[in-house]
Amino acid sequence: MKKKILVLCTGNSCRSQIAEGYLRHFAGDKAEVYSAGVETHGVNPRTIKTMADDGIDISHHTSNYVDEYSSVDFDFIITVCDSARERCPYFPSNAKIFHQSFPDPAKTIGTEEEISNAFRNVREQIKEYCRSWVNENL
């Protein structure tokens, strides 16, 4: 039976989208993976590009509000930023909750190269977290 995983972030535009992409990739048919935000900001185009650069297509992802999934019985909830952890709504389930905060690459100020590097660095941090998480929990 597939496990249901929800990844939560503030705006469901960068970090949670990256995590959803990698969790789907590493979990394969072992899990159904969703992502949402405590707000919705739309999927950041740089997020789509940085994932495509690593061979993961998330161009079809949408930015979803966490309440859309209130009726889903999740096995795992992963918060990927402190704000989402603090604002995480109560889910009437026995979901096991994990938290790992990652920097928000969308807040990077600088040249295009510096911003792209920030997205790549966060992508690599989330990729390694997701790889380990799947190996340890699925």
Q: How many other CB atoms are found less than 10 A from the CB of residue 104? A: 19
Please, is 136 exposed, middle or buried when counting C-beta atoms within 10 Å of its C-beta (0-12, 13-18, 19+)? exposed
Catalytic (active-site) positions:
9, 81, 88
From CA 77, how far away is CA 65, in angstroms rounded?
Answer: 14
What letter does residue 127 receive in the DSSP assignment? H
Exposed, middle or buried, 67 (CB in 10 Å: 0-12/13-18/19+)?
exposed
Residue 67 φ/ψ region, left for φ over 0, alpha for ψ in the -120 to 50 degree band, beta for the rest: alpha
